[in-house]
Amino acid sequence: ACALGRTPPPPPSAVRCQAAGACFSAHLANSTYAESRSACGRRRGDLAWVSGEAELRLLLGLLAAAGSAPSLFWVGLKRNASACTDADQPLRGFSWDGGGAAPREVPAALGRWVKEPVRSCLAVRCAGLHLAAAAPGGDRGWGWKE
């Protein structure tokens, strides 16, 4: 999932934009974090980041329409080798990788993990946005997954 600027305008297919914010696009490919980050860069964007619930809902809607579930989508969530897992933080020591517009903090409500990340301080780790299959009521579960 890429976060794109508004200049030039993104193509209308598989793109959703906030009224006064970033545009997001979904790209289905079996690729690594690094390959996905590079692909977003070629589109003049960065891997997507989430700063609030409105952005999360927009991104979840876009990704749900783009792919089948369960699915894991790379976003710009990364923990550097020098950072440790922090179970008391919503992002568990991960931070948003990418452009200067990426938020430094997120609300606690966005700290939903499908599975707790490996406790480590020694290796670079990446996390994606996991979408679960739709429940009988139509709602899809989500959470971060290392």
Q: Does 29 fall in a domain? A: yes
pTM score of the predicted model:
0.80
Number of domains in the chain: 1
Q: Report residue 82 as tokens.
A: 């020098």
Residue 6 maps to a domain? no
**Has residue 4 been placed in a domain?**
no
> Looking at this protein, which amino acid is placed at residue 3?
A
What percentage of the chain has pLDDT greater than the value 90? 10
87: left (phi over 0), alpha (psi -120 to 50) or beta: alpha
Q: What are phi and psi of 35, to 5 degrees?
A: -65, -40
Say how far apart CA 31 and CA 48 lie, in whole Å.
15
Q: Which residues span the domain enclosing 52?
A: 15-145
Mean pLDDT of the chain: 80
Indicate whether 10 belongs to any domain.
Answer: no
pLDDT computed for residue 9 by the predictor? 46
Q: For residue range 16-39, list pLDDT tens digits in order.
A: 887 777 788 888 888 888 998 898
Considering the domain boundaries, does residue 32 fall inside one? yes
The answer to whether residue 63 sits within a structural domain is yes
Q: Which of 140, 134, 118 is nearest to 56 (CA)?
A: 140
The answer to whether residue 3 sits within a structural domain is no
In a 13 Å sphere around the CA of 126, the CA atoms on its Cβ side amount to 19
Q: What angle do CA 12, 60, 131 make, to 5 degrees?
A: 130
Nearest of 11, 12, 100, 3 to residue 55 by alpha carbon: 3
Does residue 98 lie in a domain region?
yes
CATH number, domain containing residue 68: 3.10.100
Of residues 139 and 75, more confidence is placed in 75
Q: How far is CA 89 from CA 108, 109, 136, in A?
A: 8, 11, 32
Tokens found for residue 106? 């997120």
* 78 vs 105, more confident: 78
